[in-house]
Amino acid sequence: MFSRNVNRRRFIKSVLMTSGAVAFVSKFGIKNARALENVSVVVVGAGIAGLGAANVLRKNGASVTVLEAKDHTGGRLLTDWTMGAPFEVGAGWIHGPSSDNPSKQLADAVNAQYVVTDDENAVFFDIDGYEYDDDEIERIVDAWEGVLEHIDRTYEVNDHRSLLQAIKDYRPAYLQDPGIMWAFSAFTEFSKGGAIEKLSAPLFNWDEAFDGADVVVTSGYDEILKPLKEGLEIKLSHAVTSIDYSADAGVVVTTEQGTVEADYCICTVPLGVLKSKKISFKPELPSDYRESIEKLGFGSVTKLALKFDEPFWDIETQYFGITTEPKGRWNYWLSYRTFSDENILLGLSVGDYALIADRMSDAEMVEDALEVLRTVWEDDVSEPIDVLATHWATDPYTLGAYTFPQPGNRKSDFDDLGEPVADRLLLAGEHTIFDYAGTTHGAYMTGLRAAEYIIEEES
């Protein structure tokens, strides 16, 4: 009932596309080790897109250098174990973990351990701590689904309304209903990474999904990157400042430590970094690329893990929803006790509130979140003994969480970013694939796509 994926379509197309990705990985396995013997590639960014591309190219004999600004790999796929249980700093779930899902395939390859999270194992409270009964929950979910169905039925793909405007036009009373607005925030704003005020009504729900109930990787999500990194030359703490592809052939990539020359460059930095223009392209990117980079939405999602001595909540319940004000403020909580022995509650801020939360200090964030928890558990809420917080919007090498369509965007604003520029510069990353934007599998597929282009060019 409460699956984040309720609003994601499942088309045959997704299967076809993934089969393509899978076939591609096996087609260009190590057996083609000499195919790119004389080809050099510099990959900017060591997230799943960059590592995926670099791995395939290296296995095909290319000389590959990965330049990563941070002092670690993974980008938005990073597991922190300091609390004794995996705190997923970025991606937390494998969405749709069917055997077709490339991230699930990577996870299976490292014998990852999973736990299915159950959106129906949830309890919901209003802002005064009153618990919603089943009838009220059904009414809320029906209303939320009703709007999505209405948009599906009646909106043209080029309609420029936001999701908020669509709700206003269809059922204005919903805007005054805290339960229904909570559903749009906790489900949709979380899933899409953007505020309903900024989401394109016709497009936000048109992406694709694999089958299967979402899972968390209890052995640590970032383990799936290990095989991709094997044998790669990865230069950490190498922030790229410019990519020069102006010569007739080849690229020159500059970092503070010097330059790297190569035949091709695959640039996987997040959309936020592209928007910030912290990397200068010479010549500048073509105008349609620049327009798409400017127009696409890039919001945030804030995660706060609070570890307590003792649980003060029902440890059999997996999710707690709270209809907080303002919208998006710590409105969804995941209890680790349903898959771990640690007394951890993971709080989420989404929509525009995530942009506010990201700018708080950790201490301010904890106070803000505890205030919300006290609306339900009052004085039972103890002081946390350990805290981990994310600040994606202010992370200089990400500047947000994941990409979403804004009013007026087109699917091609995502997909065309993955088209090669001057035959030797390729952009990759979750922002370059409309159907699977904002996911690890989508990002990985774009890395494979970029590698495939180079292999085809050279064969």
Chain residues in the site for ligand FAD (CB under 6 A): 44-50, 67-70, 75-77, 90-93, 95, 239-240, 268-270, 273, 279, 301, 303, 392, 397-398, 401-402, 429-430, 438-440, 443
CA-CA-CA-CA torsion for 193, 78, 411, 160, nearest 10 degrees?
Answer: 10
| 3-class state of residue 404 by DSSP | strand
Smallest gap from Cβ 439 to ligand FAD, in A, equals 3
Return the residue matching tokens 């300091």: 82
Record the tokens describing residue 275, joined without a space. Answer: 């928007």
**In the complex with ligand FAD, which residue's Cβ is closer, 74 or 179?**
74
**In the complex with ligand FAD, which residue's Cβ is closer, 139 or 290?**
290
Record the tokens describing residue 295, joined without a space. Answer: 């127009």
Smallest gap from Cβ 307 to ligand FAD, in A, equals 19
Record the tokens describing residue 362, joined without a space. Answer: 């950790």
Nearest to 381 by CA among 310, 291, 449, 288: 310
Smallest gap from Cβ 173 to ligand FAD, in A, equals 32
Smallest gap from Cβ 273 to ligand FAD, in A, equals 4
**In the complex with ligand FAD, which residue's Cβ is closer, 179 or 442?**
442
Record the tokens describing residue 212, joined without a space. Answer: 């299967």
Smallest gap from Cβ 349 to ligand FAD, in A, equals 10
Distance CA 23, CA 180 (A): 43
DSSP string, 6-67: GGSB--HHHHHHHHHHHHHHHHTSGGGTTTTTT-EEEEE--SHHHHHHHHHHHHTT-EEEEE
**In the complex with ligand FAD, which residue's Cβ is closer, 263 or 430?**
430
Smallest gap from Cβ 83 to ligand FAD, in A, equals 17
Smallest gap from Cβ 214 to ligand FAD, in A, equals 8
| 3-class state of residue 390 by DSSP | coil
What lies within 8 Å, CB to CB, of 396 at 6+ separation is 278
Smallest gap from Cβ 137 to ligand FAD, in A, equals 23
Length of the chain: 459
Q: Left, alpha or beta for 365 (phi > 0: left; psi -120 to 50: alpha)?
A: alpha
Smallest gap from Cβ 238 to ligand FAD, in A, equals 6
Distance CA 251, CA 248 (A): 9
**In the complex with ligand FAD, which residue's Cβ is closer, 73 or 375?**
73
**In the complex with ligand FAD, which residue's Cβ is closer, 52 or 384?**
52
Smallest gap from Cβ 402 to ligand FAD, in A, equals 5
**In the complex with ligand FAD, which residue's Cβ is closer, 82 or 280?**
280
**In the complex with ligand FAD, which residue's Cβ is closer, 303 or 307?**
303
What lies within 8 Å, CB to CB, of 172 at 6+ separation is none
DSSP string, 273-334: HHHHT-SEEESPPPHHHHHHHHHSEE---EEEEEE-SS--S-TT--EEEE--SSTTSS-EEE
Q: How distant, in Å, are the alpha carbons of 9, 41, 44, 259, 348 from that of 254?
A: 42, 14, 11, 4, 37
Distance CA 87, CA 219 (A): 11
What lies within 8 Å, CB to CB, of 101 at 6+ separation is 18, 94, 95, 210, 212, 441
